[in-house]
A and B are shown apart, each in its own frame.
Chain A
Amino acid sequence: MAEPIISISHLRKEFRGAKNTVEAIKDISIDVMPGEIYGIIGLSGAGKSTLVRCVNFLEKPTGGDVIFDGRSMSELTPKQLREVRQEMGMIFQQFQLLEQRTALRNITFPLEIRGVKKEEAKARARELLRIVELEDRENAYPAQLSGGQKQRVAIARALATNPKVLLCDEATSALDPNTTNSILELLKKLNREMGITVLVITHEMEVISRICDRVAIIDHGVIAEEGNVADIFMAPKTRIGRELILGDAVSEVKFSEGKYYRITFDGRQSQEPVIANIVLRAKAPVNIMYAQTRDVGGTARGQMVIQLPENEDQQREVLQYLNFAQIPYTEVDTVSAGDDREEEEEEET
């Protein structure tokens, strides 16, 4: 087994205010392996943006450490820290390009910082513009570029110093769905062709399921669960995991009284008429509340929320069938879905 490129160990981060102290990150340990695309997902305020800023020490952690490529970040001098940061590219939700510089000169910026000669930097920047497919826009200013193009320039800029890792802080959250897809494709291509490790921070499950190999779900400053994206998508163990994966279903479905289950398909069951079988087996109708297909790690996976019949015997029949057919299922917490995520356990009325 290779050494992790980024090893976050027992990281803590407090923000001390005048009145109270906020513990944004309580105790997080994550190992990111070289060459993988690792996702960190959480709702807003979960601490994920703080976490990614602790990786390159834009925020200094209160406790714990980050080991990057064998070096302890907390032991670096300011000068060493600046050098190490050049080995970690970072892109942002709002792109953060320099508005008074052309696309080309935005990309040469990190090279200027490093002291690379002007002509050499320009040649490298042109090469990167080709990679992000913007070779014809080198003289455009950010104001003349679309959101997706700005993010491409930002990606090129982040790659200029040949970093080992690319940190993406909500990189697609300001983009429309089509542009999001093209940026995600680009990240995947860079990962595949250049072998760059990518750490993705997002609140959208869509982003995770499209490009990530592994995912950590963080909630209130701790990791709720971690694992392969496909596994977590098929069978999330925690409430926050179910909530994030169900995503917009929670807001789209109007849950009333009754029992709701989320069932997932990974393509194998396509030969079987699952819903029809459930109905035949339980001799009672099930109500399909929500259904969606997602591309998770290259395979189509479906999820569906069904409402079970009220009769308890019939409910048991349905679950037995699901077990028999080896279809992963989890109960949907109708009471708290969406808003309240306190510690109350899933006892339904």
Chain B
Amino acid sequence: MSFDPQVTKMILTGIWETVFMVFGSTLIGYLIGLPLGVVLVVTRKGGVHPVPVVNAVLGFIINIFRSVPFIILLILVMPFTRALVGTTLGAKAVIPPLVIASAPYIARVVESELAEVDGGVIEAAKSMGASDWQIIYKVLLPETKPSLILGAALVLTTVVGYSCMSGFIGGGGLGDIAIRYGYYRYQIDIMLVTVAILVIIVQIIQETGTRISIHTDKRIR
């Protein structure tokens, strides 16, 4: 067995790097993706403020980003990453491609969640004199809060998977360890440990998301 203190330390660092990459890039991803999702749902036909052209153009661009496989995106955005963070190696260097991959995905997830709001409720808000902006932050977002939380858990778990893929280009984190030791050095035991830790991380994220979502949802009970 090869679990000396050095390996343990490496794995602990890997956990931290993975958590840092996943939460960091998802956070930035939401800063971009959430407004985009709102725009998608508000400008669609029958939306709060339909602007079909904006909706079509934005949807088209998002689809382009969504159709590039992540492993290729990692390589495509390398020049951009280098310009932005000064390196293409390590956990920090993976954040730009993770954000570029997650933001359009987040936009679509948010879009489908906000679309759940009943048209009648929006109409009622309009009848009370609410502006489009007020409808967004007082109706659409609060009314879908439980779904948004559940969606965030979905996004985080997906980004965990993406972050591991970045191990192939030396991205750091648990995926990097699994690939280096399991794939290149045939040290299956270390790979299995990292996989087990990844499973636990995903379970924790999902379970936490589900619980918070149920807790905040006032439609139940």
Which residues of chain A have a CB within 8 Å of any CB of chain B?
56, 58, 82-86, 88-90, 92, 94, 96-102, 109-110, 112-114, 141-144, 157-158, 161, 167
**Beta-carbon contact of B124 and A90 below 8 Å:** yes
Knowing A100-B143, A101-B142 touch, does A82 contact B129 (C-beta < 8 A)? yes
Report B89-128 residues with CB < 8 Å from chain A CB: 118, 120-121, 123-128
Residues of chain A contacted by B138 (CB below 8 angstroms): 109, 112-113
**Beta-carbon contact of B123 and A96 below 8 Å:** yes
Docked CA distance A110–B146 (Å): 23
| Cβ of B15 to closest chain A Cβ, rounded Å | 35
Q: Chain B interface mostly helix, strand, loop or mixed?
A: helix
Choose one: B126, B127, B219; the contact of A99 (CB below 8 Å): B219
Say if the beta carbon of B218 comes within 8 Å of chain A.
yes
6 cross-chain CB contacts under 8 A: A90-B124, A113-B129, A114-B129, A142-B218, A143-B218, A144-B221
Residues of chain B contacted by A110 (CB below 8 angstroms): 128-129
Docked CA distance A158–B121 (Å): 13
**Beta-carbon contact of A113 and B134 below 8 Å:** yes
Residues of chain B contacted by A88 (CB below 8 angstroms): 127
Please encode chain B, from 142 to 174, with 1 for each CB lying within 8 Å of some chain A CB and 0 for all others.
Answer: 110110000000000000000000000000000
Choose one: A56, A90, A98, A112; the contact of B143 (CB below 8 Å): A98
Report B54-106 residues with CB < 8 Å from chain A CB: none
**Beta-carbon contact of A86 and B120 below 8 Å:** no
**Beta-carbon contact of B145 and A96 below 8 Å:** no
| Cβ of B130 to closest chain A Cβ, rounded Å | 5
Choose one: A100, A143, A144, A161; the contact of B128 (CB below 8 Å): A161
Docked CA distance A167–B123 (Å): 13
Knowing A90-B124, A92-B124, A113-B134 touch, does A100 contact B218 (C-beta < 8 A)? yes
| Cβ of A110 to closest chain B Cβ, rounded Å | 4
Residues of chain B contacted by A161 (CB below 8 angstroms): 128-129
Say if the beta carbon of B1 comes within 8 Å of chain A.
no
| Cβ of A140 to closest chain B Cβ, rounded Å | 10
Knowing A82-B131, A144-B221 touch, does A98 contact B142 (C-beta < 8 A)? yes
Docked CA distance A10–B124 (Å): 26
Choose one: A86, A96, A101, A167; the contact of B118 (CB below 8 Å): A96
**A84, A101, A113, most chain B CB atoms within 10 A:** A113
Which residue from chain A places its CB closest to the CB of B120 in the assembled complex? A96
Say if the beta carbon of B139 comes within 8 Å of chain A.
yes
Docked CA distance A249–B123 (Å): 36
Knowing A82-B130, A85-B128, A110-B129 touch, does A98 contact B121 (C-beta < 8 A)? yes
Docked CA distance A157–B124 (Å): 10
Docked CA distance A56–B218 (Å): 31
Say if the beta carbon of B220 comes within 8 Å of chain A.
yes
Residues of chain A contacted by B126 (CB below 8 angstroms): 58, 85
Knowing A92-B120, A98-B121, A100-B142 touch, does A141 contact B218 (C-beta < 8 A)? yes
Docked CA distance A114–B130 (Å): 8
Residues of chain A contacted by B219 (CB below 8 angstroms): 99-100, 141-143
5 tightest CB-CB pairs across the interface, nearest first? A96-B124, A110-B128, A82-B129, A85-B129, A141-B218
Residues of chain B contacted by A100 (CB below 8 angstroms): 142-143, 145-146, 216-219
**Beta-carbon contact of B127 and A90 below 8 Å:** yes
Which residue from chain A places its CB closest to the CB of B220 in the assembled complex? A143
Docked CA distance A124–B125 (Å): 19
Please encode chain B, from 203 to 219, with 1 for each CB lying within 8 Å of some chain A CB and 0 for all others.
Answer: 00000000000001111
**Beta-carbon contact of B120 and A94 below 8 Å:** yes
Docked CA distance A6–B125 (Å): 21
Residues of chain B contacted by A84 (CB below 8 angstroms): 129
Residues of chain B contacted by A167 (CB below 8 angstroms): 127
A86-B129, A96-B118, A98-B142 known; 17 new pairs, CB 8 Å cut-off, are A82-B130, A92-B120, A94-B118, A94-B120, A96-B120, A96-B124, A98-B121, A100-B143, A100-B145, A100-B146, A109-B138, A110-B128, A110-B129, A113-B128, A113-B134, A113-B138, A142-B218
**B134, B143, B218, B221, most chain A CB atoms within 10 A:** B218
Docked CA distance A97–B139 (Å): 10
Residues of chain B contacted by A158 (CB below 8 angstroms): 128
**Beta-carbon contact of B129 and A143 below 8 Å:** no
Residues of chain A contacted by B125 (CB below 8 angstroms): 109, 113
Docked CA distance A8–B10 (Å): 76
| Cβ of A15 to closest chain B Cβ, rounded Å | 13
Residues of chain A contacted by B145 (CB below 8 angstroms): 100
| Cβ of A167 to closest chain B Cβ, rounded Å | 8
| Cβ of B189 to closest chain A Cβ, rounded Å | 48
| Cβ of B124 to closest chain A Cβ, rounded Å | 4
| Cβ of A146 to closest chain B Cβ, rounded Å | 15
Docked CA distance A101–B138 (Å): 10
Which residue from chain A places its CB closest to the CB of B141 in the assembled complex? A100
Docked CA distance A143–B143 (Å): 13
**Beta-carbon contact of B143 and A86 below 8 Å:** no
Residues of chain B contacted by A143 (CB below 8 angstroms): 218-221
Which residue from chain B places its CB closest to the CB of A114 in the assembled complex? B129
Docked CA distance A157–B126 (Å): 13
**Beta-carbon contact of B128 and A58 below 8 Å:** no
